[in-house]
Amino acid sequence: MSCNNTNYCVTSTGTATQAFTSALQYILAAQCLITEELPPNSEVKDLDEFHFIIVGGGSAGLVVANRLTEEEKWTVLVLEAGDDPPAESYVPQLNGGLFGSRYDWQYQTVATGFTNNANLNGTVHWPRGKMLGGSSSMNGMIYFKGSSHDYQNWYNNGNKEWHPERVQKYFKKAESLQDQSLLTDPEIRDNYGYDGPLIINTFNSTLRVFSNKILKSFGEIGINPVKDLNTARLVGSGIFRSTAYNGKRGSTASTYLAQLQNRKNFKLLKNAFVTEILLNDRLEAYGVKVVINGTTLKLLASLEVILSAGTINTPQLLMLSGVGPKDHLESKNITCKVNLPAVGQNLQDHLTVPVPIFGNETKLPREGYGPLDTIRYLINRTGNLAQNSFTDIVAFFAKNKNATRPEFQTHVQIFNKNSSRGLGYFNSNYKTSIVESFLEQNRNYTMFLFLFNLLHPMSTGNISLNSKNPNDHPLIYANYFGEAMDLEATAEGIKILTKLVNTTYFKSINGFLGRYNWPVCNNFELDSTNYWKCISVNMVLTVFHPVGTSKMGLNSNDSVVDSRLRVHKIKKLRVIDASVMPTITSGNTNGPTIMIAELGSDLVKEDNSD
């Protein structure tokens, strides 16, 4: 998407014609109003020194930059490997077009032969944002805080900076709740902040009528609708909150970074690929090596180097710099400077399994978007383009209906008959027989696709180096279902979801459970535990929530950073991003990542207060 020239080579005459021309010019000019003005590259030369260097201008890094530059005495440099987000990033419905583009790191998991045999190439695509805002510039904009139980577990395991009450304080510091219908409810209002950079809102969904029918169906199977899931501590079903405003995405680039325009102590380099953390003989981080336009520079940090490169890039950079498992580094001909066995370990992700229910729903609005949708969006930021590709509902549930912490989550997508969007989903992820089974059933029926998530997997994977070349993607071993109990739990959770076919709404549209055609699963009875185990192992995908590879903990044998996010055994080096999570949070992880950056920024300030 680009801005068109609004100058015309023809003249117009008459009131009606002039009005038409003015309207057309307005629509064309409105393209340019979609994006935010972001800071340009700073002028930086070899051996320049800053107080702080932040590696990564993504979900966490831009939050840290915002907060540290509040101290005018400090100069802060952000190094981002990508560029400004494109216009498509700001339009909620268009985020899928960024997957596989130059704005995506385009990571793939390693094929193991155990899982993902129905997936293309036997792997899973892990899109991660390579642009300012990082993955917050391409995610689904779904905002959840996690469960208080998540943070209590962190605290109970010795991470004393992360008590649930303190964590909530930093969520509120980030937030600016905008939904007027929620602000009138005292309990919900007290659960959010109001003057933070991150706008929290609710999509004006074109599918709300059908969302409400599905919410009633959730209630019939014991997953009761609530007004606000964050206030209800993620137990029940409901409309999710979003990081969007005025029909546009609210990434950390368009919120936190936009506030930095006039701060003279803020410096930014885009398209700047960091290849090494510089460590001296005293094991202090004193700068980085960075490649810009083919030229390698050394840039220096007098106080700290802060890694906010994300769950994949942060451990890769640590290992490339000689910090990590000694045997692994030496196998790649890298001198081990600091033996930290936990670097790259403890990889956790929310897996998803697509559960299809078909039915005779004839009243759905047209899906996708056309020229009129585009005009509507450009004029008033409403319609299909102003929402993401899901319905606006989510359900959290557990095997025990009285549980106070969820075990499972589901998002919901609806595909009309003969859906090109549905075909795109299956074509981009699965092999021919799976795609054909979707086409056969979708030809005559609407598809309700429940994207089942396992929230707290026991299985952990790892990130390891492919080679000592920084340009080589690391090896991602997701290890989905590495622990048998995860597969048992997934099958059990899915069988709770499939009860939806017997609810009032789905009965009214003659709903039925769809079947995938995958040979090794075809002999199992539909909706049996063994069927769902088979489908899950062969069709599992990611929900795009990798965390944990620079684990926070008490000692250097099984963790990478301490409770204040300082890398063990190294001075002046800190990690502030999703990789520090000891265990994955309940629900979507972008909100907790921003919270980590808010709290982590204050830790940096406290430790450098002299």
Q: Are 455 and 547 in contact (CB under 8 A)?
A: no
Q: Are 493 and 407 in contact (CB under 8 A)?
A: yes
Pairing of strands 541-542, 408-415: unpaired
CB count within 10 Å of CB 291 equals: 16
At 351, is the secondary structure helix, strand, or coil? Answer: strand
Per DSSP, the residues of 527-561 read TSHHHHHHHHHHH-EE-S--B-TT-B-SSTTT-SB
Task: Classify each residue of 424-457 as buried b or exposed e, where b means 16 or more C-beta atoms within 10 Å of its C-beta.
Answer: ebbbebbbeebbebbeebbeebbbbbbbbbbbbb
Of 235, 236, 234, nearest to 216 (Cα)?
A: 236
410-to-5, 7, 229, 394, 589 alpha-carbon distances in Å: 44, 48, 13, 6, 15
Residue 209 marked as a ligand binder: no
Which residue in the list 350, 411, 545, 568 is annotated as catalytic? 545
Q: Which residue has the tokens 């605290």?
A: 155
Residue type, 179: D
CB count within 10 Å of CB 3 equals: 14
Strands (DSSP E) contained in 155-213 are 175-177, 198-200
Residue type, 572: K
Task: Classify each residue of 156-169 as buried b or exposed e, where b means 16 or more C-beta atoms within 10 Å of its C-beta.
Answer: ebebebbbbeebbe
Count, in order, helices (H) and strands (E) of the chain.
17, 26
Strands (DSSP E) contained in 164-322 are 175-177, 198-200, 236-239, 241-242, 244-245, 248-249, 266-269, 272-279, 285-292, 295-307
Question: What whole-number distance in Å separates Cα of residue 262 and Cα of residue 55?
Answer: 21
Handedness of CA 129, 134, 138, 140 (dihedral sign): positive
Question: What whole-number distance in Å separates Cα of residue 240 and Cα of residue 229?
Answer: 7
At 213, is the secondary structure helix, strand, or coil? Answer: helix
The three-state DSSP-derived secondary structure of 444-490 is: CCEEEEEEEEECCCCCCEEEECCCCCCCCCCEEECCCCCCHHHHHHH
Q: Which two tokens stand for residue 52?
A: 């702080």
Q: Are 269 and 41 in contact (CB under 8 A)?
A: yes
Of 387, 97, 57, 104, nearest to 255 (Cα)?
A: 57
* DSSP secondary structure letter of residue 385: G
Active site residue 545: yes
Cite the annotated binding site for FAD by residue number. 274
Which of the residues are catalytic? 545
